[in-house]
Amino acid sequence: MVSARITALVENTVGGRELLAEHGLSLWIELGPKRLLFDTGQGKVLGGNAQRLGVRLELADAIVLSHGHYDHTGGLADALRSAWRTTVYGHSAAFGAKYAKNPDGSARDVGMPFLGGQKVREKADLVLVEGPTEVCEGLRLTGPIPRACDFENAGGAFFKDQGCAEPDELVDDQAAYIETSAGTVVLLGCAHAGVINTLRHVQSQTNGRAIHTVIGGMHLLNASAERMDKTVAELRRLDVRRLLPCHCTGFAAAARLWNEFPGRCAACPVGTVVEVPR
């Protein structure tokens, strides 16, 4: 394994001087000679945070989109403007219309702003991910994740149309992972497929290798008590060494995980650097 580390460029929280937070996620991955951007946040703070953290977005060899929601793709236009030469990886559904239903029945647009696949192609190579995909040596994408667990769901009222007639199962949702001798390091966007479905799918692609680290959004803010209990039980069974539940995980869910897995959880504010074991 080449050396690797992950830097949080965009996250919902921040603790450092001259860094800014927003509701969103973007992780910078240095993997041997490669530089990869996993999600782009909403785009309001990506460039500034990158500059202050000494991250050169122009060097991004690849930009991975975990799914199409605006808080992961809003910075794509800026990232593409910065990048000298890059390849974008995302499922075709990530470029489709996406809405969330409000409690009063109205809908709000939560899709990718400004860009369609065609516009991406004007700036970069575009790889439409349909299944397990290698981005570069050491980093792979799960592609669409089977929804095998009966206790997990997409985590909200998501639809493909403004009238909220056609549910959006977020088939575009995918995770990235790095295999190391200590176990697999998994990067989640929002885990709309469910964090346990995601980890099981990663294991199915890695000969059952142990999961070492899970970093990213777990979208458990609407999770039922039953789902939380089963998620905790499965994470315990998987014996995950290090958890960085952040972004859309939800405060109560994150607090539960911190209590259930003492010494194994960490926060992930903007500027956090996670060393990947070799």
Please tell me the distance from the alpha carbon of residue 138 to that of residue 199, in angstroms, as a whole number: 17
At residue 58, φ and ψ (nearest 5 deg) are: -65, -20
Applying the rule CB under 5 A, the residues between 144 and 183 that interact with Zn ion are: none
The nearer residue to Zn ion, 34 or 201, going by C-beta atoms, is 201
11 binds Zn ion (CB under 5 A): no
- Nearest to Zn ion of 36, 193 (CB atom): 193
248 binds Zn ion (CB under 5 A): yes
37 versus 248: smaller Cβ distance to Zn ion: 248
Residues 100-129 close enough to bind Zn ion by CB under 5 A: none
CA 42, 184, 249 angle in degrees (round to 5)?
A: 40
Name which of 13, 56, 21 is nearest 37 in CA terms: 56
Comparing CB distances to Zn ion, the nearer of 83 and 191 is: 191
Which window, 145-153, 180-188, 190-198, 232-240, contacts Zn ion (CB under 5 A)?
A: 190-198
Q: Per rule CB under 5 A, is residue 190 in the interface with Zn ion?
A: yes
Q: How far is the CB of 209 from Zn ion (least distance, A)?
A: 27
CB of 67 to Zn ion, least distance (A): 6
HSE-CB at 24 with a 13 A cutoff on CA atoms is 30
Binding to Zn ion in span 51-90, by CB under 5 A: 69, 71
Asked if residue 91 binds Zn ion (CB under 5 A), the reply is: no
Q: Minimal distance in Å, beta carbon 248 to Zn ion?
A: 4
Strand intervals (E) in 76-226: 87-90, 99-101, 107-109, 125-128, 133-136, 139-141, 158-159, 176-180, 183-188, 211-217
- The gap between the terminal CA atoms of the chain, to the nearest Å, is 5
**Strands of the sheet with 273-276, listed across from one edge:** 125-128, 87-90, 62-64, 34-38, 26-31, 4-10, 273-276
User: Minimum distance between the CB of residue 154 and Zn ion, rounded to whole angstroms?
Assistant: 9
Among 138-146, 184-192, 226-234, 236-244, which window interacts with Zn ion (CB under 5 A)?
184-192
Task: Extract the tokens encoding 23.
Answer: 């509701």
CB 187 within 8 A of CB 177: yes
Choice between 71 and 179, CB closer to Zn ion:
71
Residues that bind Zn ion (CB under 5 A): 69, 71, 190, 248
